[in-house]
Amino acid sequence: MKTVNILAVGDVCSRAGIDFLCANLPAFRRFKNVAFCVVNGENANGLGIMPSVADELMTHGADVVTLGNHTFALRQIAQYLDENRYILRPSNITPRAQGRGFGVFDSPFGDVCVVNLIGRVAMEPNESPKIELERVLKLPEVRECRFVFVDFHAEATSEKLALAHSVDGRVTAFWGTHTHVQTNDAQILPHGTGYITDVGMTGAIHSVIGMRVEASIERLFGDPTAKHEAADGPAKLEGALFEVDTETGQCVSAETVRLV
Ligand SMILES: [Fe+2]
C-alpha cells in the first residue's frame, strides 16, 4: 500500500500565527513528508486576510488557503479571490460572492479536490452546507478526483459530526475549523473518511482564541465596548495529519499536530 500525508492547518491568527507558520511549516512539511497542505487563513489579519498575507502563507507551505465567516472583512481580498484559484471562500455563501468555494488541484499523487464550507448553527445565515457539498461532489470534475478534502468552518461540534458522517466514504478527509480549540477526536469514520471536529489554531499560545487575554476578559466580562486585540508572544501551530491510501483515496490514519 502506498500512502501520502496530508496536513490541515488550523486558523492562522494575526502576526504571531503568520510568523510561526512561516518559520516552521516548510521544515515540518519536509520532516513529515507532507504531500499536500491546506491552511485556514481567515483570521490571519485578525478578521479577514490581506492578499499579501495569503501570498505569504502560500510561499511558506500552504498549497491551498481556505477561509470562513470573516472572508470579506477586508474588502481588498475580493478581487484576489477571483484572480487566485488557490484561495477558497466557503462554497455555501451567497452565489454572488467573489471567488470560488472549491477547486481541483494538481498534486504529486493525482488530482485533489478541496471544498470549503461554512456552518449554520450559531453562525450567520448561510445556504445549506449539506446541499452544497452534495452538489459539488456530483460535478464531473470532482467525481474524477480520487481525493476530496473538506474544511468545514463551523461552530457546533454536532453540525460538524453530522455533515462528516453524511459523506463518510465519499470524501478522503473532513476537518473542522473556526473554534480555534483543537479537539481530541481525530479518527477514521466507519467508511474510511479521516475526521477531526476542529484542527485548532495557529497563533499565540497564551491567548483567548488568538486575542490578548486582558482585552478579551474586559470585552466579555467588563466593558462591552472594549476591543479585541491580537495577542503576541510565543506561538504554536495546530492541525491534523491524515495518511491517505493513494490507491483507494481513503484515509488510513488521522492524528493531531501541535508544534510549539
Ligand atoms: Fe471563523
Q: What is the pLDDT of residues 170-208, one digit of tens each?
A: 999 999 999 999 999 999 999 999 999 999 999 999 999
* 172, HSE (Cβ side, Cα atoms, 13 Å): 29
Total structural domains within the chain: 1
Picking from 137, 135, 136, 128, the residue whose alpha carbon sits closest to that of residue 162 is 128
| The predicted structure's pLDDT at residue 107 | 95
Of the pLDDT bands very low, low, confident and very high (cuts 50, 70, 90), residue 225 is confident
- Catalytic residue (choose from 70, 153, 178, 180): 70
Read off the C-alpha cell for 194: 479521516
| CA 219 to ligand 1 center in whole angstroms | 18
Alpha-carbon separation of residue 81 from 18, 59, 67 (angstroms): 19, 17, 11
Q: Considering all CA atoms of the chain, what is the largest pairwise distance in Å, rounded to the nearest integer?
A: 58
Collect all residues with Cβ–Cβ distance below 8 Å to 157 and sequence separation of at least 6. Answer: 176, 183, 197, 198
Range of the domain at 95: 3-259
Domain of 37: which CATH number? 3.60.21.10
Evaluate if residue 226 carries a pLDDT over 90: no
CA of 30 to the centre of ligand 1 (A): 28
Residue 153 CA to ligand 1 centre (angstroms): 6
For the cut 90, the answer to whether the pLDDT of residue 228 exceeds it is: no
108: nearest Cα among 5, 17, 242:
5
Q: How far is the CA of 58 from the centre of ligand 1 (A)?
A: 20
Euclidean distance between CA atoms 88 and 103, whole angstroms: 8
Name the residue among 181, 186, 203 with its Cα closest to residue 259: 203
**How many CB atoms within 10 Å of residue 163?**
20
Strand 87-88 and strand 102-105: pairing? unpaired
Please tell me the predicted confidence (pLDDT) of residue 250.
Answer: 96
Q: Separation of 42 CA from ligand 1 center, angstroms? A: 7
70 is catalytic: yes
Question: Cα(94)–Cα(82) distance, rounded to whole angstroms?
Answer: 15
* Tens-digit pLDDT profile for residues 127-151: 999 999 999 999 999 999 999 999 9
Map residue 170 onto helix, strand or coil.
coil
Per-residue exposure over 123-155, b if at least 16 CB sit within 10 Å of its own CB, e if not? beebbebbebbeebbeeeebeebbbbbbbbbbb
- Per-residue pLDDT at 95 exceeds 90: no
- The whole-number average pLDDT for the span 26-55 is 97
Instruction: Report d(CA 201, CA 210) in Å as an integer.
Output: 8
Phi-psi region of 169 (alpha: psi -120 to 50; beta: other; left: phi over 0): left
What integer pLDDT is reported at residue 108 of this predicted model? 92
